[in-house]
Amino acid sequence: MQRSGVLDGVGDVRKLSLSAIPTREAHGTAVMVEPRYFDRVYKINPYMEGSIDRDRARTQWEHLRETLESCADDVRVLDPRETQELVDDVTAPLASNRPDMVFVANHALPTPTGEGFVLARMATDERAGEPRHFAAWARRQGYDVATAPAATFEGMGDALWHPGRELLWGGYGVRSEREAYDELVDRLDVPLISLELTSEYYYHLDVSLAPLSESTALVQPEAFTDDALAKIAAVFETVLEAPPAESTAALAVNLEVFDGSVVLGTEAPETTQLLEGAGFDVVTVDTGEFQKAGGSVCCLTLTAGTPS
């Protein structure tokens, strides 16, 4: 069995044996947040430009939900109207003041079984109150909810499970802090490969790396240091490189995979060709309004298991 801990060195990652790491069942539940209050009222990433067509955003979100219902085992929706009464602290920010709460992937990280979550500690004041609402909802759903690490950690925006294994990939350097992962791996008793992010355009790991299967990943090389790219290449047999233009204009790497089907936001023909050439079925949904706030399919979805 692979020892838990953070693997920072390329040499340590090259010694990693996936077969020595416990297997992990795929998380088949997709959690979404109803976009009732979605809007763009501040700027905390380079993509935040222009006004939001909220009716169009609603239509796009509904289409994404219908798409996920066709390929995920279960889809659960957090309605922000219902979480305010569940939040312990009445002085906490109102859900209606959380325009980015729809990007649920940043709220937490599911445990290996998916029956619980470790909460996020957001890097920006604008989003700091969101995980509290998610925690209240998740507890009512029957999930175990653990407190956030002491250091900044933005949930599945920066921590991604390796398909089929109890192995985490952890991005740091723009939003999440490297120190968060020392605490995280101690709690979860799993190994984690750290990846340093270097660009404000790739501020989260989920816009930079998409683990597609145990052996294949989609990556945007411009997001990483050379050491980080070497770690990715040491583990995945096949590394597909997304075109830079589609990685920004279409957030093409910010996708979800359910049972071999890739759900991609907005038309990205070169990326689609790469994915189909690697044997994946690609379903495209329009997430253009959400991309104006810096998020697409993966940001809008938090994968989990079924609570015990």
Angle at 223 between CA 222 and CA 224, to 5 degrees: 95
DSSP characters for 44-109? SSTT--S---HHHHHHHHHHHHHHHHHHSSEEEEE-HHHHTTT-S-TTSPPGGG-TTTT-GGGSEE
Average pLDDT score over residue span 238-243: 98
pTM score over 0.75: yes
List Cβ neighbours of 109 (8 Å cut-off, separation of 6 or more).
117, 118, 120, 153, 155, 156, 159, 184
Q: What is the DSSP letter of 298?
A: T
Averaged confidence pLDDT in the chain: 94
Indicate the range of 210-224, 236-250, 255-269 predicted with least confidence: 255-269
68 close to 75: Cβ distance less than 8 angstroms: yes
The distance from CA 46 to its chain's CA centroid, rounded to whole angstroms, is 18
List Cβ neighbours of 170 (8 Å cut-off, separation of 6 or more).
6, 158, 159, 176, 180, 181, 184, 192, 193, 194, 195, 205
The structure tokens 């190994």 sit at 191
List Cβ neighbours of 226 (8 Å cut-off, separation of 6 or more).
none
- Which of the four CATH numbers 3.40.50.620, 3.40.50.920, 3.75.10.10, 3.30.460.10 does domain 5-242 have? 3.75.10.10
* Element containing residue 277 per DSSP (H, E): helix 269-277
pLDDT bin (cut points 50, 70, 90) of residue 83 is confident
Residue 2 is predicted with a pLDDT of 62
pLDDT bin (cut points 50, 70, 90) of residue 135 is very high
Average pLDDT score over residue span 69-98: 80
pLDDT bin (cut points 50, 70, 90) of residue 260 is confident
Q: What is the pLDDT of residues 11-29, one digit of tens each?
A: 999 999 999 999 999 999 9
On the question of pLDDT at 198 being above 80, the answer is yes
The structure tokens 């937490």 sit at 108
Active site residues: 204, 299
pLDDT bin (cut points 50, 70, 90) of residue 97 is confident
Residue 17 is predicted with a pLDDT of 94
pLDDT bin (cut points 50, 70, 90) of residue 187 is very high
pLDDT bin (cut points 50, 70, 90) of residue 141 is very high
- Taking the CA of residue 18 as centre, how many other CA atoms within 13 Å lie in the half-sphere pointing to its CB? 15
131 or 91, which is more confident: 131
